[in-house]
Structure 1
């Protein structure tokens, strides 16, 4: 893999890349980094004839902090489509997203459909399904980090004892049984080890799901405009059977598959928690490459 930097949407992005061919842009989530989350998919895509590029999102080191401090989803989506242009992507480019990267992918593919030929998303379903889950007792309990991160004390708690809270979250909540999340945590330490970086990451939750706006008609309209419409491109949605954050049943997965565009698929990844690309790489890569081969 090679390291690179590029400026897009006014942000200096750091990324890792491998391969030549159509652009495959890989978007990570919280509290991760692109190179770690997609360390298994990058070489697989390169071998399949893609230029796989995994940036760290704005604020996550060594990508720059945004000058205006914004971590709003709308700006993250603009980053994605600006990266397509800055990295010389064309209409054959594919978009891959996980967790926060999933929300970015759902939206970016709709905002600029001419840029992306196919979409692969895992771990956060489309808004209509995510919102329905987040409003349930189970969803509120399992997504409790959304609410904890609103508190001022979260900055101190997450930074304490060498980021022990995040280490425990990665090992015990966000990954499935038997998975060693040590490498994920090392990526987190590098990306969010500075106070300003950790604050930016928490602002993902504070500015997009803040207590004063979440659930208001204005908030619903804003998020509906961003990722309320499903992509027109063939889309693969994958979800871990052991995900303890966004728990999903067979009926919901089937409904997601039925709602997506023609040529789309939805599948469970057995034994994976919430970080499917890293936890079950052989199965994840197999499903992704098979889907790309069928829809090429």
Structure 2
């Protein structure tokens, strides 16, 4: 991918990496936690070769993207960022959207709010909330999700350091040390650490909806079909915690696939399999 560039969207300055021809249809790739656009390098290469204009932004709060001036990191804000980036890059109705981990809720919200911007979408490693079964509260899954509850505490700022980030990657998708340095850089400053924690604090303590703010649109009413991908060896969220009837929680025409021998960061664990699924999905529609 190309060197980091900057663009303004939704009141923020976004850093981003890019690939492919400027004249191609927009492919916006949204990363999760603790991650950066660097993990999209395999997907970006394939999509760029297929003629897409690939843009992979650093999500709000991840340096060099600015922190949210209002401190808001809920999923609705991430979705608004995605649609604003579509506008900023001059995307058309042929644009496609891909999100991993926290990028997945951004995908769901963006295609529900403004489906006319996107032709097809891919979400990875985080299903819609309605598709999480009781297994998400099992003892085994709660052990995996310990960090979510830790992040609600006052010690979280001192805990979220390089050693902790490396430990999460080892537990979730071992063997990718080359992806860690960009994450350390993106979350080096205290304000960026606070932003990353803000995603999780808003998840368990959502702010009240402000008067005049439109209610969230139902995802299943969107006209944008979604391919959902999950790693069979995901150390963060077991697929056993996901409703087998997952597509009932997605727009019509959606489907899902389990990627063998892939952990949470499946785009770097099994890039050939993930790239094939994504390219087939975008080609079919």
TM-score, normalization by structure 1: 0.87
Q: Is the 1:58–1:65 Cα contact (8 Å) retained in structure 2?
A: yes
Q: Is the 2:219–2:250 Cα contact (8 Å) retained in structure 1?
A: no
Residue among 113, 133, 140 paired with 1:111: 113
User: What are the equivalent positions in structure 2 for 1:51-90 lying under 5 Å apart?
Assistant: 51-90=53-92
1:16 aligns with 2:11: no
Q: Give the drift of 1:255.
A: 0.8
Cα deviation code 1:252-273 (max 9, x no counterpart) = 5641135433432211000111
1:167 aligns with 2:166: yes
Aligned residue in 2 for 1:242 = 233
Q: Give the drift of 1:143.
A: 1.3
Q: Is the 2:132–2:242 Cα contact (8 Å) retained in structure 1?
A: no
Q: Give the drift of 1:293.
A: 1.1
Residue among 176, 180, 202 paired with 2:175: 180
Q: Give the drift of 1:284.
A: 0.3
1:233 aligns with 2:237: no
Aligned residue in 1 for 2:156 = 154
1:206 aligns with 2:201: yes
Give secondary structure in 1 for the equivalent of 2:233. Answer: coil
Distance 1:127 1:206, change over 3 A: same
Give secondary structure in 1 for the equivalent of 2:160. Answer: helix
Cα deviation code 1:61-105 (max 9, x no counterpart) = 111112222222222211111001001011110010000000111
1:190 aligns with 2:189: no
Q: Is the 1:253–1:266 Cα contact (8 Å) retained in structure 2?
A: no
Give distance in 1, aligned partners of 2:70 and 2:133. 29
Which runs of 5 or more structure 1 residues have no equivalent in the other structure?
220-224
Q: Is the 2:131–2:243 Cα contact (8 Å) retained in structure 1?
A: no
Q: Is the 1:9–1:79 Cα contact (8 Å) retained in structure 2?
A: yes
Give distance in 2, aligned partners of 1:113 and 1:136. 35
Give secondary structure in 2 for the equivalent of 1:39. Answer: helix
Aligned residue in 1 for 2:254 = 264
How many residue pairs were aligned?
276
- Give me the CA root mean square deviation: 2.0
Distance 1:285 1:169, change over 3 A: same
Give distance in 1, aligned partners of 2:217 and 2:57. 21
Greater helix proportion: 1
Aligned residue in 2 for 1:31 = 34
Aligned residue in 1 for 2:212 = none
Q: Give the drift of 1:54.
A: 0.2
Cα deviation code 1:206-244 (max 9, x no counterpart) = 12223xx69xxx79xxxxx54752343121110000012
Aligned residue in 1 for 2:278 = 288
